[in-house]
Amino acid sequence: MVIQTNGLTFSFGSQPVVKSLSLQVPEGSIYGFLGPNGAGKTTTIKLLLNLLKSQAGDIKIFGLDYEHHREEILSQIGSLIEQPAIYGHLTGRENLLNRALLLQLPESRVDEMLKLVRLSQFAQRKASNYSLGMKQRLGIALALLSDPKLLLLDEPTNGLDPNGIIEIRELLIRLVKEHKKTVFISSHLLAEMERMATHVGIINYGELLFQGEIKDLQSISAPLVRIETANTVDAANLLTKNGYAVTDVTDDHLFVAWQSKQQTAEINHLLNQHGYAVYSIHKVQKDLEKLFLDITQTPAK
């Protein structure tokens, strides 16, 4: 495990922000850390970087603890937290040069990074004049500068246009596949994570609700029968009366928990028998977006 936490707990004053978090991030994974705004994602990342001191629990990164190996751990991590931290009065290139100076890296590495995030032509522009997307890309370049084994990225696609998002996604996938890096990436966008994450952790109100491979998340979501019919509300009532579990009703569709092919045929028959025209009926996997909402919308305890 590259990141392993045990019972990690943190509060701001009396307000608990992270509750007994036990993360397991395997090597070579893209770990999507999902949760709505205010769920404790940034706080967790700051704990993982030793910027905040946990009140309970422990953190092991590369199997090492911060108490004895702070610099050793940090030398292998690249990070981007919240808005990228950039000196506005320096140019993009100078921001990278300053970091290269601190990390004792050659200047050539700076130009490589500028090229990688496609900022070469804006390298001499003052960073305060960068657009949000350019700042974000510079932040990613800063995180990648030292060629770290582990990347901790807090909502790195914030403010990027669709092209920028695709570029970052492809870059991260490439880093993991070709360079054996591990990426821990937080987001509130499930669809985005679905496209790149190999592992997922879902956090809400500081609690880890789910952790596992992305396919496990999909498999725990039970399939549904999606029925397109004319009068969905009455049809739903009819099905409920006959003992079917209706999970959702919209203007055009209604959803019933899927049990078997036979049962799907029976539903179709029942609706037809009672004069409800069925326009389409088929089995669907629960939408991951919906599943995410289901898991995170449990009220705070």
Partner 1 sequence: MKGFILSLRSEFYKSRKTLGFWAAILLPLIICLLVSAGFYVKSAKMVNMPGLLVWMAFSRAILNVMGSLLLPIFVIIVGYSVNSIEHKADTWKTLFSLPISKWSVYSAKYAYALLLVFICLLLFLGLTVGLGNLLGILKPELKFSEYSMSKALTQVYFKLFLSSLGILSIQFLLSLLWSDFLKPMGVGFVCTIIGVILGVTNWEYTYLFPYSHQMMALRNMMPRIKGRGTAPEFVIDIFTKDVYVGLGIAVVVFIAGFFIVQRKSIK
Considering beta carbons, is residue 78 or 196 the nearer one to partner 1?
78
Considering beta carbons, is residue 12 or 279 the nearer one to partner 1?
12
Site string for partner 1, 139-178 (x = CB under 8 A): ---x------------------------------------
Exactly one of 89, 177, 179, 282 binds partner 1 (CB under 8 A); that residue is: 89
Whole-number minimum distance, CB 101 to partner 1, in Å?
5
CA angle at residue 130 from 124 to 134, to 5 degrees?
A: 100
Helices (H), 180-300: 190-196, 214-220, 232-241, 261-273, 288-296
Residue 114, H or E segment: helix 107-116
Q: Which two tokens stand for residue 276?
A: 């409800």
How far is residue 128's CA from residue 31's CA, in Å, rounded to a whole number?
Answer: 31
Whole-number minimum distance, CB 263 to partner 1, in Å?
54
Exactly one of 52, 171, 249, 270 binds partner 1 (CB under 8 A); that residue is: 52
**Percent helix, strand and coil across the chain, each rounded to 5?**
40, 30, 30
Exactly one of 4, 9, 24, 50 binds partner 1 (CB under 8 A); that residue is: 50
Considering beta carbons, is residue 100 or 256 the nearer one to partner 1?
100
Exactly one of 85, 166, 245, 277 binds partner 1 (CB under 8 A); that residue is: 85
Q: Tokens 């496609």 identify what position? A: 118
Considering beta carbons, is residue 103 or 220 the nearer one to partner 1?
103
The candidate with the shortest Cα–Cα distance to 17, out of 51, 52, 68, is 52
How far is residue 271's CA from residue 134's CA, in Å, rounded to a whole number?
Answer: 55
- Under rule CB under 8 A, which residues in 218-277 are in contact with partner 1? none
Does 101 bind partner 1 (CB under 8 A)? Our answer is: yes
Selected range binding partner 1 among 98-106, 158-166, 200-208, 213-221, rule: CB under 8 A = 98-106
Helix axes 132-144, 162-179, angle to 10 degrees: 10
Selected range binding partner 1 among 67-75, 156-164, 231-239, 267-275, rule: CB under 8 A = 67-75
How far is residue 270's CA from residue 284's CA, in Å, rounded to a whole number?
Answer: 20
**CB–CB of 28/176 below 8 Å?**
yes
List contacts with partner 1 (CB under 8 A).
Answer: 46, 49-53, 70-72, 74-75, 77, 79, 81-83, 85-90, 94, 97-98, 101-104, 142
